[in-house]
Amino acid sequence: MIFKVLAKKFVREILEMLENVDEMYFSEIMNKLNTHQGTVGRVLGELVDYNLLSKREDEEGKKLNKTYYSITDDGREALEFYEYADRMENSRKSKFHNEIKGNVGQVINIDKAEGLEINFKKGN
């Protein structure tokens, strides 16, 4: 399922990394993420399988070909999903980020306010 892939570590970072460049080769991506080759290889493989990235191999007669990755249109749409999720999360947080003014001793009932933070300030 695509949501499982999008929730994996490094997926968003890789898509954002490739968003504004033509392509990057495997070692560049691995170095920027500062993680192991196997981890990057698995994530890149899944992104290619889901058509979020495309890959090409540079065959210049070297022993090891360089593998280049670029973002696809589907990958750009996945980035829009992350932006939407960020907006939803910020909206949820802002619903409970209101300043409450009242007299001392006022009782305030708030239902279902998970993660609510209330700061009390002494008035003038």
Looking only at the bridges linking them, the beta strands covering 66-71 and 53-58 are: antiparallel
What's the structural domain count of the chain? 1
Looking only at the bridges linking them, the beta strands covering 53-58 and 24-25 are: unpaired
pLDDT in tens, 57-75: 987 766 778 899 999 999 9
**113 falls within a domain:** no
The CATH number assigned to the domain holding 76 equals: 1.10.10.10
Residue 86 Cα to chain centre, angstroms: 9
pLDDT values of the chain reduced to their tens digit, one per residue, 124 residues: 888 999 999 999 999 999 999 999 999 999 999 999 999 999 999 999 999 999 999 877 667 788 999 999 999 999 998 998 888 887 766 655 544 455 555 555 555 556 666 666 665 5
Helix (H, G, I), strand (E, B) or coil at 32: helix
DSSP state of 78: H
- Domain hosting 46: range is 2-85
**26 falls within a domain:** yes
Cα–Cα distance, 114 to 111 (Å, whole number): 9
